[in-house]
């Protein structure tokens, strides 16, 4: 498995560089979670970092990555199915704010 030394910015890991395993595409994961054990023996605190572009690479062809601290945690993921998008071309049968006969 290939790994790449990736810098971390912000939060408790600011300024550190860790080797991060690369995926099949050659990119590190979009989010990186670091569990920090609680000194009192409670549940561990999880630090969340998001992958952001580091800047242009050599000759502008390759893009290197770094991780930025995300204090709000990982974003919630929603499945993006093409059939679940609202159809913008068809107007609603009932305009907003008006009652339909089916509503009673």
> Residue 104: what pLDDT?
54
> Residue 103: what pLDDT?
55
> Residue 13: what pLDDT?
92
Residue with tokens 């204090």, as numbered in its chain: 71
Q: pLDDT, tens digit, for every residue of 78-96? A: 777 777 666 556 555 555 6
Please compute, for residue 39, the number of CA atoms within 13 A of its CA located in the half-sphere on the CB side: 0
| pTM reported for the whole predicted model | 0.65
- Show the low-confidence residues of the chain (pLDDT under 50): none
3 state DSSP class of 13: helix
> Residue 29: what pLDDT?
92
**Is 27 within 8 Å of 52 (Cβ atoms)?**
no
């Amino acid at each position: 498995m290939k790994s790449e030394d990736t810098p971390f910015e912000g939060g408790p890991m600011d300024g550190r560089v860790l080797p991060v395993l690369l995926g099949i595409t050659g990119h590190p994961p979009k989010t990186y979670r670091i569990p920090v054990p609680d000194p009192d023996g409670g549940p561990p605190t999880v630090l969340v970092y998001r992958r952001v572009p580091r800047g242009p690479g050599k000759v502008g062809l390759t893009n290197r990555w770094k991780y930025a601290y995300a204090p709000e945690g990982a974003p919630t993921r929603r499945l993006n199915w093409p059939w679940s998008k609202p159809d913008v071309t068809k107007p609603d049968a009932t305009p907003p704010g008006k009652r339909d006969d089916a509503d009673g």
